[in-house]
Structure 1
């Protein structure tokens, strides 16, 4: 629920050079406290900042509180001490909520912050270097990923997942980029369709490229299955023929032995 819908406008006589989100009464503080009474599934630690930031920002926007982490609080001037107090309390509530979603391994970096904006910027600075390293790591992974034993659907999903991670840290990844990554990771058995998709990549959607690759994959599977069936039939026929030949040789051997025995008795 977006609190903006329930908030009264700022009291008459007050002025603002920024947008306070229409916070003006202590009822707003109570409402914010109510809606901030939850924690994220995962607390911020040294390895999950990107995902944590996306979740936190979405929650803050859903509650209409991005005003605070964007530092618009500093640009607001009012003639009302009540409004100032309301804004201060709301900011403190957001600080408490942010603290509750930060692990003890990271919390020490922000304990001296005096506003939610300070917490936000401190964390951005703290993780900026590791975020860039993550970008380089993900781009390398996307460039080098291989299909291997995965199906086309599984392989495409892996590429999409990497692309989503890059987009979550403000990296521009187009469908053409993903198609190129997919084509580069395929084996030689896909060469015919790779040439076709590559020639139309500029005007082809990822969905269309995936469809063509899946169709080619199924054709390969059908051909392999047909070859295996032929091989099985050949093996069965060979075994059957060998058995019959063996039985024929056995019968001739018995017949020859009987004739030999009869001839021996007849000679004496």
Structure 2
């Protein structure tokens, strides 16, 4: 890991409380590309039987499993490591992380809703701020598919969180174009 919170050499951001969907997509692609996916979630998640005739196959499986395990462990933030410390295989690590982040968890949903409500542009660029809001809305919608965040609600959060210096511009653009603007009359 380098100082920017990325996995060295991969350009993948460390898994943290708010980027599971992006991390999972990138990590899955990387594991497939490195021919390690089969030991994580494919047909080879269980080690071959430890018999003399399987010695070479077992050796290859152990090597692939160890590479994938190291990669997964090095790609998560330290505060999440305690969740996977007892896992015995890469398949178990993947399943544990998926269960941790990819279920309807009311406490996590509330945390994300609070983060969305309190997110402001601050020192972020406009594009960084837009992406942060969009990612939060997307993750909330994944956790609660019965009540996904509408585009209009997402736009209201964006406008509400922008620096004050942008508000006159937004009002001007919205008044010139009317309710057909990207701000939806907000």
Q: Equivalent residues in 2 for 1:190-209 (5 A)?
A: 192=175, 196-197=179-180, 209=182
Q: Is the 8 A contact 1:143 1:181 kept in 2?
A: no
Residue 116 in structure 1 maps to residue 90 in structure 2: yes
Considering only aligned residues, what root-mean-square deviation do their CA atoms show, in Å?
A: 4.9
8 Å CA contact 2:14, 2:77 repeated in 1: yes
2:150 corresponds to 1:177:
yes
- List runs of 5+ in structure 1 lacking aligned partners: 1-36, 148-152, 198-207, 214-268
Q: Which residue of 2 aligns with 1:65?
A: 36
Q: Tell me the equivalent position of 1:91.
A: 65
Distance in structure 1 (CA, Å) of the matches to 2:26 and 2:10: 11
If each structure's helix is expressed as a fraction of its own residues, which one has the higher value?
Answer: 1
How far off is 1:41 after superposition?
A: 6.3
Does structure 2 retain, via aligned residues, the 8 Å contact 1:68–1:116? yes
Q: Unmatched 5+ residue regions in structure 2?
A: 1-7, 161-166
- TM-score w.r.t. structure 1 length? 0.40
Residues in 1 aligned to 2:33 and 2:136: alpha-carbon distance in whole angstroms: 22
The 5-angstrom pairing of residues 71-150 of structure 1 reads 71-74=42-45, 81=54, 82-102=56-76, 104-127=78-101, 133-139=107-113
Contact 2:87 2:93 in 1 (8 A): yes
Structure 1 residues 164 and 67: CA distance shift in structure 2, 3 A: same
Bigger Rg, structure 1 or 2: 1
SS in 2 for 1:181: helix
In structure 2, distance between residues paired with 1:144 and 1:193: 29
Cα distance change of structure 1 residues 43 and 182 upon mapping to structure 2, 3 Å threshold: closer
1-side partners of 2:79 and 2:115: how far apart? 28
TM-score by length of 2: 0.52
Measured at CA, do residues 71 and 114 of structure 1 come closer, stay the same or move farther in structure 2, by a change above 3 Å?
A: farther
Partner of 2:4: none
> 1:111-165: CA deviations, max 9, x gaps?
3322101111223334567965444444566578789xxxxx94x8634432234
Give the conservation status (yes or no) of the 8 Å contact 1:40–1:101. no
The equivalent of 1:255 in structure 2 is none
Number of residues of Structure 1 aligned to a counterpart in Structure 2: 157
Secondary structure of the residue aligned to 1:92 is helix
Q: Contact 2:45–2:91 at 8 Å: present in 1 too?
A: no
Deviation, 1:83, is 2.5
